[in-house]
Amino acid sequence: MKLTSEQIDRLYQFTRQHYVEWYDLQTELVDHLANSIEAQWQENPKISFEDALQIEFKKFGVFGFMNVVEKRQLALQKRYSKLVWKHFKEFFTIPKIVITLFSTVLLFLIFRNYSQVEILITTLFMLVLITFWISLFYQSRKNKIEYKTTGKKWLFKDIIFGHSSFAGLSYIPFYVLIHTDFSQNIGILKAAFFSLLFVSMALCEYIILVIIPSKAEEYLKETYPEYALENAN
């Protein structure tokens, strides 16, 4: 026996009812449940669809589909981190390294010679963070609007457009500033450290907010064959 289209729709509804909101994970679970139910029918053709579904669902344990969701989130966050790191390393290869080094040296000279360096560093970091969070909010909002249009959410797309693990790293500069002594003129090591930190943050922000979103369709099609089919045009 094979599942009917109505029963497949019921499986999608079932996954949504159990807090799986992403279409890619829903499809994966629906395929698993469908195959398992059909295997049950081969052994016991008299069992009802709903009873077979409940039997399979119980195999996921007390947390239901949450373990599957968490594992996929971790896997896709890891993939996203690799993409960020890949693009970050590109700024330390020719010809981009020229811009990276120039920016770092320029900031180093400014930090070494500016009289109110604490205010300058704090202001620069605040500008980077404000820009980061405003852009992240805008991209997340845009992604939600697209979801309302298509009716399908994709986990990796959510990570790219606003739910990345890198958002939590934005608080690092505040921790560094709180534990830095600016009572004396900033030394060479401190100036070098803050120059590298600021340039690294700016590069990460550019990668997260510009480069990866601009390549989102490419990365999504690589990750999801079904996404590629639905967006072939």
Please report the pLDDT score of residue 185 as a whole number: 63
Question: CA separation (Å) from 88 to 5, 12, 16, 94, 194?
Answer: 46, 39, 37, 13, 18
Residue ranges per structural domain of the chain: 5-64, 73-230
Please report the pLDDT score of residue 152 as a whole number: 87
Please report the pLDDT score of residue 111 as a whole number: 87
**Residue 162 Rama label (left phi>0; alpha psi -120 to 50; beta):** left
Instruction: Assess contact for 8 and 34: CB atoms under 8 A.
Output: yes
- The Cβ of residue 172 has, within 10 Å, a number of other Cβ atoms equal to 12
Alpha helices in 44-153 (DSSP H): 49-58, 66-90, 96-113, 117-150
- Tell which residue, 194, 213, 214, has the closest CA to residue 202: 194
Please report the pLDDT score of residue 165 as a whole number: 58
- Length of the chain, in residues: 233
Please report the pLDDT score of residue 147 as a whole number: 84
Encoding tokens for residue 136?
A: 């992240």
d(C-alpha 107, C-alpha 91), whole Å: 17
Please report the pLDDT score of residue 231 as a whole number: 66
Question: CA separation (Å) from 35 to 29, 54, 56, 101?
Answer: 10, 14, 10, 56
* Per-residue pLDDT tens digits of the chain, which is 233 residues long: 789 999 999 999 999 999 999 999 999 999 999 999 999 999 988 899 999 999 999 999 888 899 999 999 999 999 999 999 999 999 999 999 999 999 999 999 998 888 788 888 888 888 888 888 888 888 888 888 888 888 889 999 989 887 555 666 666 776 777 666 666 667 788 888 889 988 998 898 899 989 999 999 999 989 888 787 666 55
d(C-alpha 160, C-alpha 182), whole Å: 37
Please report the pLDDT score of residue 72 as a whole number: 93
